Amino acid sequence: MKALSLKQPWAELILQGKKTIEIRKWNTKFRGKFLIHSSQAPNREQMERFSIGDVPLGCIVGEAEVVDVKEYKTKEDFDSDFDKHFATTYVFDKKLYGFVLRNVKRIEPKPLKGQLNFFEVQW
C-alpha cells in the first residue's frame, strides 16, 4: 500500500477533517487509498498556530483517499482554497498541486520511517 509523509500539524488536521487538500510542488497520477505518515520532525510554528500539542511522530497515523488533484496556476486560485489547505509557507511559483482527500480515517499509530513522495509500505 502507498503512504505519504506529512509534517505535523498537517497530518493531524487531515485526521480531524479540517484539511481536505494536501499541497505539493509535484503532481501525481495516483488515485486511491493511502496511509498517512506523520514525519519525525514537526513544524513547531504551525503546531502553535493551530494549538496542536502532543501528536504521534514517526509513524502511520491514518488513511485517506486521493480522489482528485487540483492544479493551481495562479496565486488567486491557490488563495481561494485556503480554508481547505491552510498553506501559508509556499511562495507561489508557476504551479502548485492540491491532492483532494476524502474518506479519512484515524488508525492506531504504528512506528515507521518515512520517505519522500508516495512510498510503498507492507500493510
- Please write the tens of the pLDDT for every residue from 46-58: 999 999 999 999 9
Q: Comparing C-alpha atoms, which of 86, 16, 12 is closest to residue 55?
A: 12
The CB-based long-range contact list for 53-59 (8 Å cut-off, 24+ gap) reads: 55/8, 55/9, 55/11, 55/12, 56/109, 57/8, 58/111, 58/112, 58/113, 58/114, 59/109, 59/110, 59/111, 59/112
Q: Which CATH superfamily is domain 2-114 in?
A: Hypothetical protein. (2.30.130.30)
The pLDDT mean for the chain works out to 94
**pTM to 2 decimals?**
0.93
Q: Where do the domains of the chain lie?
A: 2-114
Assess whether pLDDT exceeds 90 at residue 91.
no
Assess whether pLDDT exceeds 70 at residue 89.
no
Assess whether pLDDT exceeds 90 at residue 90.
no
CB 1 within 8 A of CB 35: yes
Where does the pLDDT of residue 43 fall: very low under 50, low under 70, confident under 90, or very high at 90 and above? very high
